[in-house]
Amino acid sequence: MAVETVYRSCPTCEASCGLALEVDRATRQVLSIKGDDRDQRSRGYVCAKSQAFHYVHEDPQRLRRPVKKVAGGWQEVGWEEALNDVAARLGAIRNEHGKDAIAMYYGNPNGHNFHSQIYTQLLIQMLDTERFFSAGSVDQQPKNLGCELLYGNAWLFPIPDIDRSDFFVCMGGNPLVSQGSLMSAPDIGRRLAAIRARHGQVVVLDPRRSETALAADRHLFIKPGTDAFLLLAWVHWLFAGNRVRLGHLAPFTDGVESLRTISKDFTPEATAAITGVPAAALRQLAGEFADAKTPVLYGRTGLCTQRFGTIASWLIDVVNALNGRLDAVGGAMFPLPATGHTEPPAAAQPLHRGRFRSRARGFPEYLGMLPASLMAEELECEGEDRVRAMITLAGNPVLTVPNGKRIRAALQKIEFMVALDFYVNETTACADYILPSTTQLEHSNYDFMFTTTCVRNFARYSPQVFQPEPDSREQWQIFTDIVARMSGMTLESLTDLMRDGLIAQVLASPALPQGLDAAKITALTGAHPHTEQLLDIMLRAGPYGDRFGLNPAGIDLDRLKAAPHGIDLGPLQPQRLPAALATPGKRLALAPQLILDDVRQRLLPALQEARDDRTLLLIGRRHVRDMNSWLHNLHQYARGKSRCTLLMHPQDARSRGIAEGDEALIRSRVGEFRVPVALTGDIMPGVVSLPHGFGHRYRDGGQTTAETLIPGVSANDLVDDGELDLASGTSVVNGVPVEVRAVPAPSA
Ligand SMILES: Nc1nc2c(c(=O)[nH]1)N[C@H]1C(S)=C(S)[C@@H](COP(=O)(O)OP(=O)(O)OC[C@H]3O[C@@H](n4cnc5c(=O)[nH]c(N)nc54)[C@H](O)[C@@H]3O)O[C@H]1N2
Ligand SMILES: Nc1nc2c(c(=O)[nH]1)N[C@H]1C(S)=C(S)[C@@H](COP(=O)(O)OP(=O)(O)OC[C@H]3O[C@@H](n4cnc5c(=O)[nH]c(N)nc54)[C@H](O)[C@@H]3O)O[C@H]1N2
Ligand code: SF4
Ligand SMILES: [Mo]
CA distance 185 to 300: 14
**What is the residue type of 313?**
S
Task: Write out the DSSP string of 330-395.
Answer: TSEE----TT-TTSPPSS----SEEEEE-TTT-PEEETTB--GGGHHHHHH--STT---EEEEES-
For 145-334+576-601, CATH number?
A: 3.40.228.10
CA distance 389 to 415: 6
Through-space distance between the first and last CA atoms of the chain, rounded to whole angstroms = 67
Output b/e per residue, 38-73; b: 16+ Cβ within 10 A. ebbbbebbbbebbbbbbbbbebeebbebbbbbeeee
Q: Which one of 17, 108, 301 would you pick to mutate in the ligand 2 pocket, going by the greatest count of ligand atoms within 8 A of its CB?
A: 301
Element (H, E) at 598: helix 593-598
CA distance 471 to 309: 45
Distance 629 CA to ligand 4 centre (A): 11
Residues 518, 523, 524: CA angle, nearest 5 degrees: 100
Strands 416-420 and 389-393, sheet pairing: parallel
For 612-742, CATH number?
A: 2.40.40.20
* 25 contacts: CB under 8 Å, gap ≥ 6: 2, 4, 465, 466
Output b/e per residue, 115-149; b: 16+ Cβ within 10 A. bbbbbbebbbebbebbbbbbbbbbbbbbbbbbbbb
Question: Which 3 state secondary structure label does DSSP give 677?
Answer: strand
CB-based burial of residue 561 (10 Å sphere; 0-12 exposed, 13-18 middle, 19+ buried)?
A: middle
Task: Write out the DSSP string of 710-724.
Answer: -----GGGTS-TT-E
Distance 225 CA to ligand 2 centre (A): 14
Dihedral in degrees, nearest 10, Cα atoms 532, 535, 536, 541: 160
Output b/e per residue, 292-303; b: 16+ Cβ within 10 A. bebbbbbbbbbb
Distance 400 CA to ligand 3 centre (A): 21
Query: For residue 433, what are the β-bridge partners?
Result: 68, 418
Q: Which one of 133, 178, 400 would you pick to mutate in the ligand 1 pocket, going by the greatest count of ligand atoms within 8 A of its CB?
A: 400
* 185 contacts: CB under 8 Å, gap ≥ 6: 15, 41, 162, 175, 179, 191, 454, 455
pLDDT in tens, 711-735: 999 999 999 999 999 999 999 999 9
CA distance 350 to 671: 40
CA distance 389 to 127: 12
Number of other residues whose CB lies within 10 A of the CB of residue 350: 7
Strands 730-731 and 724-725, sheet pairing: antiparallel
Q: What is the mean pLDDT of residues 123-134?
A: 97
* 310 contacts: CB under 8 Å, gap ≥ 6: 142, 145, 146, 595, 598, 725, 727, 728, 730
In this structure, what DSSP letter does residue 258 have?
H
Residues 265, 733, 145: CA angle, nearest 5 degrees: 60
Dihedral in degrees, nearest 10, Cα atoms 569, 572, 577, 583: 80
pTM flag (> 0.85): yes
pLDDT at site 748: 62
CA distance 379 to 397: 13
Distance 172 CA to ligand 2 centre (A): 7
Task: Write out the DSSP string of 294-321.
Answer: SEEEEE-HHHHSSTTHHHHHHHHHHHHH
CA distance 149 to 588: 9
CA distance 446 to 449: 9
Number of other residues whose CB lies within 10 A of the CB of residue 519: 9
Of 727, 689, 452, nearest to 597 by C-alpha is 727
pLDDT in tens, 361-400: 999 999 999 999 999 999 999 999 999 999 999 999 999 9
The protein residue with its alpha carbon nearest to ligand 3, atom 4, reads: 17
Q: What is the mean pLDDT of residues 53-64?
A: 98
Of 347, 398, 359, nearest to 100 by C-alpha is 359
Q: Residue 249 in contact with residue 324, Cβ under 8 Å?
A: yes
* 261 contacts: CB under 8 Å, gap ≥ 6: none
Judged by phi (left if over 0) then psi (alpha if -120 to 50, else beta), residue 367 lies in left
For ligand 2, what atom is nearest to the CA of residue 47? Answer: 1
CA distance 14 to 622: 15
For ligand 2, what atom is nearest to the CA of residue 301? Answer: 19
pLDDT above 70: percentage of residues in the chain: 100
The protein residue with its alpha carbon nearest to ligand 1, atom 30, reads: 394
Strands 663-667 and 736-742, sheet pairing: antiparallel
**Domain regions of the chain by residue span:** 145-334+576-601, 612-742
Q: What is the mean pLDDT of residues 668-693?
A: 98
CA distance 301 to 299: 7
Is a pLDDT exceeding 70 seen at residue 39? yes
Is a pLDDT exceeding 90 seen at residue 420? yes
Strands 218-220 and 445-446, sheet pairing: unpaired
pLDDT in tens, 223-238: 999 999 999 999 999 9
pLDDT at site 612: 76
Is a pLDDT exceeding 90 seen at residue 192? yes
For residue 64, which phi and psi values (nearest 5 degrees)? -115, -15
Element (H, E) at 742: strand 736-742
Is a pLDDT exceeding 70 seen at residue 163? yes
CA distance 320 to 560: 35
Q: What is each CA distance from 464 to 33, 394, 439, in whole angstroms? A: 15, 20, 10
pLDDT in tens, 81-106: 999 999 999 999 999 999 999 999 99
pLDDT at site 614: 82
CA distance 427 to 210: 30
Distance 395 CA to ligand 4 centre (A): 11
Number of other residues whose CB lies within 10 A of the CB of residue 515: 6
Q: What is the mean pLDDT of residues 292-307?
A: 98
For ligand 1, what atom is nearest to the CA of residue 396? Answer: 20
Query: For residue 628, what are the β-bridge partners?
Result: none
Q: Which one of 169, 177, 644 would you pick to mutate in the ligand 2 pocket, going by the greatest count of ligand atoms within 8 A of its CB?
A: 177
For ligand 3, what atom is nearest to the CA of residue 49? Answer: 7
Q: What is the mean pLDDT of residues 642-654?
A: 97
Q: Which one of 422, 482, 700 would you pick to mutate in the ligand 1 pocket, going by the greatest count of ligand atoms within 8 A of its CB?
A: 422
Of 170, 745, 693, nearest to 398 by C-alpha is 693
User: Helix crossing, 491-507 with 530-541: angle to 10°?
Assistant: 0
Q: What is the mean pLDDT of residues 613-640?
A: 95
Q: Write down the mean pLDDT value for the chain.
A: 97
CA distance 98 to 477: 25
